[in-house]
Amino acid sequence: MGFFYFLGQKKFYLQILISIVLTLVIIWGIFEFLNVFTRHGEVYLVPDFTGQTIPDLKEKDFSQYFDLIVIDSVYDVRHAPGSIVMQNPLPGATVKKGRHVYLTVVAKKPEMVTMPDLRNLSLRQALVLLEGKGLKVQALQYVDYFAKNAVVDQLLNGEPVEVGTKIPKGIAIGLVVGKGSHPGPVPIPFIIGKKIKEAHEALHYASLNVGHEYFLDGDDTTTARVYKTDPDFISHSIMDMGSPVDIWYRSDKNFDFKEYIHQMLVDTMPQVQAETIPQDSAQVQQQSQTP
């Protein structure tokens, strides 16, 4: 009797109304807090920071919109010291205000590394060791020596460099290499479509040198891939060890390398031995013959 009596009182309905209002207020407050916390609706387009410096970005007030964090530095003579060469997120990405933008800048001074001992190693071992040290190969100089592709000496700026010498990381080391008792010519590897570093490595592993290089689509080397070589792979040319191979590059932004390699292999496959073509290129050719 008392319960039904209470249902008929105005006080009961007033309390229900108050509870509903409080619930709605709490829900509204939670959503407002989430909007503020996540900056709902405030998104910004990440600009291209390449080539600029951190002071440049702060002067342009980019630090008000992004949290700029330098995570690495590399020494690169092609770019000004302190300039930005890489960023994450990439240009054009949409992010919220205050998003971390991780930057890689060019170091003002090169990192120093210790010159390894390459003498008496095989060419392949020496190339792997130089890569691990962050050093490049300047050129392969072949001389009369009984052990084929054995490193006879290591050179810096044309002069022998001793083991343990501190040298700048990224510098090029020349290698004096043996011809062997019975030196013979070597074939040109298939490097079409490869990036610059990959092309250089492939030639060096094949006992050849990089000749003149031509960039047909401007100076941006980050998108450059091998477009053609002289002599070319298709001509079946064989060369003396240490001979230079000229390379032409095109940008993969402006050129369809997949179709280019596909057509090249379709046109020349009857004259080319399948085992001389890299696996990725052979797969392209195989797909082209599938009905």
pLDDT at residue number 12: 63
DSSP β-ladder status, 159-160 and 151-156:
antiparallel
Could you say which of 132, 153, 183 is where a domain stops?
Answer: 183
Q: Count Cα atoms within 13 angstroms, Cβ side, for 291.
A: 0
Q: Which domain holds residue 125?
A: 110-183
Tell whether 49 is covered by a domain: yes
Q: How many domains does one find in the chain? A: 3
Average pLDDT over the chain reads 85
pLDDT at residue number 192: 95
Q: Is the model's pLDDT at 1 over the cut of 70?
A: no
Helix (H, G, I), strand (E, B) or coil at 131: helix
Confidence of residue 274 (pLDDT cuts 50, 70, 90): very low
- Pair (99, 122) in one structural domain: no
Tell whether 20 is covered by a domain: no
**Rounded mean pLDDT, 3-16:** 63
- Pair (223, 262) in one structural domain: yes
Q: What does the DSSP assignment read for 246-266?
A: EEEEEETTTS-HHHHHHHHHH
Q: How many whole angstroms separate alpha carbon 15 and alpha carbon 7?
A: 11
pTM summary value: 0.64
Could you say which of 91, 106, 121 is where a domain stops?
Answer: 106
The sign one gets for the Cα dihedral 64, 66, 70, 76 is negative
- Pair (233, 198) in one structural domain: yes
pLDDT at residue number 222: 84
- Pair (96, 119) in one structural domain: no
Summarised one tens digit per residue, pLDDT across range 175-190 is: 999 999 988 899 999 9
pLDDT at residue number 270: 57
Comparison of pLDDT for 3 and 290, the residue scoring more: 3
Comparison of pLDDT for 286 and 198, the residue scoring more: 198
- Pair (235, 211) in one structural domain: yes
CB 140 within 8 A of CB 175: yes
- Pair (79, 119) in one structural domain: no
